[in-house]
Amino acid sequence: MSQLEVPVSSGRKAGRVRLVVPCEIKGSKETIKVPVRDISLDGIRLLSSETHLVGDSLQLTLRLGTRIELAAEVRWLQHDAAKSQTVLGCRFIHSGESRENLKATLQNMASAIDSAARKVR
């Protein structure tokens, strides 16, 4: 289930959505699948066991009902040595209508979740 978070006071412009969706990172050698921790219109947090550096450019493919391809840049890293994994904080590099497409897709997902939750009550 996804959960919408309110923007935090550190200047975040877009609210985060916590959800579990498949994400692929297309690299020069191979494509790897990684879990999404959360997503906003401006960026995404991913969990990866692969090595990445701040400043790396990534090509991401998300499956949010429809397939969405986005360019992103690694902005920060948080390594968890105990799990041999790294959280990648990435900023989307939007082009064309990618921001509007992502916004519409996230809104549709939120609407579907709200509708399903009302039926359960």
| pLDDT one-digit tens code per residue, 8-66 | 334 556 677 787 788 999 976 789 999 999 999 999 999 998 889 999 999 999 988 78
What's the domain count of the chain? 1
Q: Give the residue from 43, 55, 54, 45 showing the smallest Cα distance to 12.
A: 43
Provide the domain limits for residue 9. 3-120
| CATH code, domain carrying 64 | 2.40.10.220
Predicted structure pTM score: 0.78
Q: Give the residue from 50, 49, 52 showing the smallest Cα distance to 89.
A: 52
| Residue 33 identity (one-letter amino acid) | K
Distance separating alpha carbons of residues 65 and 106, to the nearest angstrom: 10
Residues 47, 62 contacting (CB under 8 angstroms): no
pLDDT classification of 108: cutoffs 50, 70, 90: confident
Q: Across all residues in the chain, what is the average pLDDT? A: 82
DSSP state of 16: -
